[in-house]
Structure 1
């Protein structure tokens, strides 16, 4: 009996060690067994645990696995099919590893899966048709892999899909039927750098929830651009570059007011904004004929007349044309005499009547269209009260709603106060109050602000509306929720800790800012110059998308009544230079401009695009080093450009220059050095030797991706 009890107690003491781990834990152990894990990410995955909920990368709910997330850990191998047996699995994230092989069909048995993020691996093969089982899928990111084949038609059954990113693979074939109607919840779509072909589905215009950039670039899409794409939200930027599209570019909705950068690389496209006009033989974007009553063998309007036309269909004779012109001139003269007589009789009477009314204390009203010079000037330059003026068709609020909304101060500067305003519907806006002066320059202000309001680019903060009165001038923008780049690099004053930017995020900010500046410099209507670019006016969206803000703000504030101009800055800089003889000319200028103004700002009155290039270069240096643009060296101050040049001359290692928060990204040394070369080209003291923003954008987007040498001849 004693031996039996001893055996029973011994068996019970061993049983937790042999059968303690639940079935989900054993499923995950198969992953650990077949995948190489050089960084030990799965070292604490032990069979002695009761469940896997405490394991690295595993998240549970009610003791059941709901998430597997092991990104950027150099995992090597293929995924086991058994993962699909995790019935409550919601999220899978293996981004930026070295996984390969095909996606196991069994993975799609986890029908509750909401996000599948596999970008930055070497997966291959096609996407299984079983993806239709994932009715709750919201995020599918397979970018930067080796997937091939057509996109399965069954993907349109994923009705809740919000993010579809397939860029940089080898996908081929047509987009599935019903792509636009079936995936109507899509908010982000990126199909770039694949081999998709066929026409762009006309129902893609139904994707009314899309945001940011819809990227269809670098594929083999052919045929006409469907006019229905214009039905997408106007704030969406549609990138169709480098395809085989042809015909006229539709001029409606989201396709209007776009620069040529959205369409380049399609030799068959014509019409605005491209320079090559459409000929008469170019097919229209819509099927109905503009001349439905003409038989098929009839020439179009004007064909066969004039030079090259047949004698039978020859145009009017010279005598007939001269007769028509003379008759028109006589008619115009008669109309002018009649108008003059009418003006002197009727408007003169009303002017006398108005004076009589004003003498009686009542404001008279003119009953005819009498536009005297003094009246028009009074209307435009001495406005006492002006309603809220929308600059976008999507503005759905009025002045009363704006003034009643909750407002929070975001910041103050010499130009004005910036508020976050939250309307009753929960819509957040950014409102800048410019001040109370400048009541005599409304017409000038109106021209300037409405020109700025027409600019539309995914990396430029959009001006939505404005308000003008004698006592108040307001600019209303979209609210960008993630603060400024200055805060993202250095943190908020007074806060000890903050989340530093990773290198991929910094690179994304560099590229987006370059795209925005390229648009301003080369593709905006007036080829604008920002003139005051710095991290504090580069705002960041939730996904770290950069938005260049405060464009044109200095001039608007000057018109509205008084902010410091560049001229006053130069006067102050000259005084500073007199007081600080020990500082170089460039350092004095940069300390005044917070380190971002080009050295020639002291000498040249009008800002140039090369000013922006210099400022952009300083921002790149700031993103690489994590340092402020004015560096404290011993008891003296040195601007960041001079400090970097000193470090290069002294042949200091990259680690001495690099932001300490980027220590984990040491494997990106080649990219970082490439960006450093770009920055040094931008801050060249010679304006002629600085690259253009389009050259910078090309190097950032192509050379760094391909790992080739940065192509600036002066380096």
Structure 2
């Protein structure tokens, strides 16, 4: 009897526990609504997340935006390209025990990485293309033993790559490109590792043996990295010798030119030549290096050629004596800023990959470029020819490049380029490009290297195109490896360029200007592969979130969204992969010229190509904000 009584008490206690648990527990709908309230700017994006909506998962389907269901419960959350901000409430997400995949790509979340390691059963994490910043804690991925895919690209993370990330036992895909990670790459020992993308960071040192079989493009943009699949590492002593040799050779070459110019300026004795060499070359790279060079004896015909007679000239010794500053090293060579004694600031670009063209041919082409004159072109001032290297001299533009204004870090109180300024810039770019097409009709690629870092801005933010018209004198193999025209779909697919290839580059520049995102495929050597920026824009508009594509740092856009959308459509028509359907330059320039700072009546642009199908079979809705794109 006592035994039965005890059994009944236990049964009653169990039933009470179940009843209390049911009353205390929350449904998945309640949990999701609590999570939604932690986000900002969710009203339209998550409008179907509400109390009156049916249960989140019915069978394996969901009528709640972004949910992925399996067996009637939530296993994935995919809230991409929605303009979401605020806090990702990880604590609330832990109440979804079967959650396995999480994606918030292409939103505007900022601050430090959330405490994702609380989601210990997560298999895939996608947080690329947001604004997360700061260092990731060393244990930021600890205990996440099921995690296989981690995508954190194109944020602003800094510091070292945490060892807990490299130690994930099941990691197969890792995407960290486009951040500011520094230090050495940790060792990855996973057997199933497929891809580790570390491009465009600040990493240094030898690439670990476990990653040496990866493609070299996955490590591009890290100046301090070496070892397979990148060039072999050099000892610091050997590296210093190479740097000294390169700098010494460059300055000695300039000193040699100046010496010849000095000799020709009047009667000169042998002792005067020697004194000049020691005075100008010895002060910079050491007398021993200058005296040991026999280049002076070989440079009798060396001469700096000035393009225009109306320009005030300067002697080469003035250039040598000027205060110098290294501006950077690009795909063609190094650039230097030299301030002359009279206050003029010049830029000297040094080219080594032009040694397949003869002197007369080079002089003729430079003279042709030097005669070009347009408000949106940076004119060539002078040039120097030597078989091993070429120097191009132009005026210094103090306001920097468009790339710098779009992508450089700004102070918290510093605003980005506003819409009227961006419109002015793209109109000037279009005018300059149209002028090149008119004046250089025999060139397949009148520009050939149009990108945001080759668009300089004067003090009024008027654009000045640089590095144009160099295709005939650049070594072909070097051009195909580095020039952006050769990242185009027609070269990637068919190994050819056309008169519409520069139009494709213009389209990419338009998308970069509007989105604020850098076309990362430009960092890759060789063929461009998929055009990541255009592909990303395509993915956004396919999801009917076209309005979210625009750069959040673009200020003063009130009443300008319609005109911005028109420019976006122009960019898409210029980025048409099919060259038959891609716009002609004159059509793109005409439509860009029609754009205004403020909205007027919405008018569709003309069709891409000449087939009459608006935007190459793009279906534009009445509100003008979403359109689908054929592959």
**TM tier, smaller:** 0.3 to 0.5
Based on CA coordinates, which of the two structures has the bigger radius of gyration?
1
**Which of structures 1 and 2 has the larger relative contact order (alpha carbons within 8 angstroms, sep 6+)?**
2
TM-score (norm 1): 0.39
TM-score (norm 2): 0.44
